[in-house]
Every structure is written in C-alpha cells, then in structure tokens.
C-alpha cells in the first residue's frame, strides 16, 4: 500500500485543498505529497467528494487499486477530453479484431499445408469460427464509432 | 445529434436536478428525458458541474461523443467501483497479448511448411518479432496488475 515518504508533509490532496492533513486523513495513503498531479487530475475530473464517496464504497484492500484506476481514467480524460480512456478501449478492440482475422487466415493456410491439422508441438489448428474466433464474443464492446 | 423526442418535457438532467429546462439548456440535446439513467450515472461519477465544464472545453461537434464516452465510463464505474472501464482495458490488453502469441506461433509453423514464405493468396508470412509483433508496442498499456 502506498504511503507518504514525508510523514510531516500534508498529503497531495490536503495540500491541493489547502486544509490541515490530519492523522486519520482518508486520502493520505493514496495521494502522497510527491505525486501532486495524481490528486489534481482526479479532483479535476471526478471531484474530491466523489472520490471520497467511492473510496468508502469499496473494501479497504481495494482502495489503492480504485484510486489508481481513477487516476488512470482522469489522466486519460485530461489528455483526450472527448474520448478519455474509452479511446484506448476502441483502439484495443480494433487490435483484437485485426489479430483475430490474421490468426483465422493463418490457421486456414496451415490447414491447407498440414495433413492431420496438428502442428509439430501438438497444437490443434483451429480455422475460422473455431476456438480462436470465440474470443471476439468475450469481454467488452464499445458501441460508438470513434473514427 | 441526439435530441429529446418530447419537446415539452424537461431534459433528463434538468429533471434530475429539479430545475426548469430552458430553451438554451446545455444538457438537453445530450440527455433526453427518455434516458434518465444516462444523466444519473454521469452525475453520480463525475458531477453535473464537471460534465458541464468538460462540454465547454470541447468543440460543439465533439460534444455528443464526449457525453457518450462519459456515460460509458460512468456506467462501467457503477458496475465495477474498483476498476471501472479500466478493467475492460486490462481484459483487452491480455486478449491482444494472447492473440499476438498465437499468431506468432502459427506463423512460425507456417514458415516450416511453406517453402518461400508466401501463402497462396500472396500474403507474406511474418514470424516472431515481425510486423505482427509490433502491434504489442502500439497503443495503450495499463500499468497496474488487475488480477
């Protein structure tokens, strides 16, 4: 778990909000003073109050991951105000679709050349619509055109 | 561009905020009254004021995309308060890495079986470290372990 390396300095959140950082500060362990931009970003995008509410909604052992994912989203939104990290989802979805098509085409080629559809290391070749293709139906799909 | 189908109804934002929806309302065209949850979600995660500021930062023709990506992020965060849509990025990144490995292995098999490294349809086979692998170095990498 992250903690401030300057125990006498206020955390980045309290410094940003110009308030005294008390020993029981909810933000201190997630927003150390040496990372001021991390809090500035989540404050700009989500607001300190929403971040505090969200931290109270999750288990203590999940709070560091929650803060880090919020910081990631906030930074992405500041870099790209229109799409934020949803832009990354769209890029990755296109990458998955392209790789799956390439894999299907390559497997189809292999099937033509290898007699019993088993490679030398024993892998079973799967053509279009096989196991490999099913990965397109898993996970996430961002439904808006981001072109 | 989305617009309310009930011109006499207040938009979902004004209804939620219990205020009169004026003809120049900034939210009306993006939050029609028939989609009340869309505004409720972005209000809970980002706050109405932050959404309004963000809309003013982007060009008018980009505002619908911005609202839709905010709505997507907000819904993902409500469903998964710890990782939000960053969880989707992590899943997709793993999918890309797995597909790229499969493709590299399949191309390596093809190279063993096809004499001049060209398939019947003229595609050039690329082994590990070739063109295909370069896609791993493009785009995004979420740096936290989400296991």
The share of chain B scoring above pLDDT 90, in percent, equals 67
Predicted local distance difference test score (pLDDT) of residue B120: 60
Give chain A positions within 8 Å (CB) of B136: none
pLDDT digits (tens, 9 = 90+) for A70-119: 999 999 999 999 999 999 999 999 999 999 999 999 999 888 877 666 66
Is a pLDDT exceeding 90 seen at residue B127? no
Cβ of A83 and B66 within 8 Å? Answer: yes
A147 contact partners, CB below 8 Å, separation of at least 6: none
pLDDT, mean of residues B21-49:
95
Angle among Cα B69, B70, B76 to the nearest 5 degrees reads 90
- Three-class SS state of B92: helix
What tokens were used for A46? 């989500």
Is a pLDDT exceeding 80 seen at residue B126? no
pLDDT digits (tens, 9 = 90+) for A20-62: 999 999 999 999 999 999 999 999 999 999 999 999 999 999 9
Give chain A positions within 8 Å (CB) of B48: none
Nearest to A140 among B70, B88, B140 (CB): B88
Predicted local distance difference test score (pLDDT) of residue B112: 83
pLDDT band per the 50, 70, 90 thresholds, residue A4: very low
Which residue, B8, B2, B7, is CA-closest to B39?
A: B2
pLDDT, mean of residues B130-141:
46
Domain ranges within chain B, ordered by starting residue: 3-79, 85-142
Predicted local distance difference test score (pLDDT) of residue B102: 95
**DSSP string across B99-133:** HHHHHHHHHHHHHHH-TTSB-TT-PBP--TTSTGG
Is a pLDDT exceeding 70 seen at residue B92? yes
Which residue, B90, B41, B29, B91, is CA-closest to B70?
A: B41
Is the ipTM reported for this complex over the cut 0.90? no
pLDDT band per the 50, 70, 90 thresholds, residue B70: very high
CB pairs under 8 A between A and B: 157
Predicted local distance difference test score (pLDDT) of residue B114: 72
């Amino acid at each position: 778990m992250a903690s401030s390396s300057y125990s006498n300095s206020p955390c980045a959140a309290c410094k940003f909000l110009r308030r005294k950082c008390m020993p029981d500060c909810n933000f201190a362990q997630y927003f150390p003073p040496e990372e001021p931009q991390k809090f500035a970003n989540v404050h700009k995008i989500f607001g300190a109050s929403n971040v505090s509410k969200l931290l109270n909604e999750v288990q203590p052992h999940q709070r560091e991951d929650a803060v880090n994912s919020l910081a990631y989203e906030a930074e992405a939104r500041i870099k790209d105000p229109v799409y934020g990290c949803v832009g990354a989802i769209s890029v990755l979805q296109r990458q998955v679709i392209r790789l799956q098509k390439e894999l299907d085409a390559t497997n189809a080629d292999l099937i033509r050349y290898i007699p019993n559809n088993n490679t030398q290391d024993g892998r079973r070749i799967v053509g279009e619509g096989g196991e490999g293709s099913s990965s397109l139906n898993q996970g996430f799909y961002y439904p808006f055109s981001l072109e």
